[in-house]
Amino acid sequence: MGDKIESKKLAKNAKVNTVPGFLGEVERDEEILRISNEIGYPVMIKASAGGGGKGMRIAFSDQEALEGFKLSKEEAISSFGDGRIFIEKYIEDPRHIEFQILADV
């Protein structure tokens, strides 16, 4: 589940509720602005391979989204060797519930 884009796609296909967002890699400034405005600010710009808060930026405007995209991508490449970025709605004061399942199939 280290690939957040694929994890979200898997969860959606299993009909699990997820944070609203774009289920794919965002690659260009134009996409960042279009998707951020479709979702509605604030948005969270995240590295697909991220963890520990690396490669994450909150944006409250177009300007912050563009800067956050650039910084998240640079940090993701530097930290994980994977610059794929996605966007989802930023949830203020969330409750985090996480399940980890290990199976031998």
**For 42-53, what is the mean pLDDT?**
90
> To which H or E segment does residue 43 belong?
strand 43-47
Question: Do the beta carbons of residue 20 and residue 6 sit within 8 Å?
Answer: no
What is residue 99's predicted lDDT score, i.e. its pLDDT? Answer: 77
96: pLDDT strictly greater than 90:
no
What is residue 1's predicted lDDT score, i.e. its pLDDT? Answer: 54
Distance CA 31, CA 49 (A): 19
Say what the pTM is.
Answer: 0.83
Domains of the chain, earliest start first: 4-89 (3.30.1490.20)
Q: What is the pLDDT of residues 66-75, one digit of tens each?
A: 999 999 999 9
Q: How many CB atoms lie within 10 A of CB 56?
A: 19
Residue 28 corresponds to which tokens in the numbers above? 């260009």
Nearest alpha carbon to residue 61 among 85, 86, 90: 90
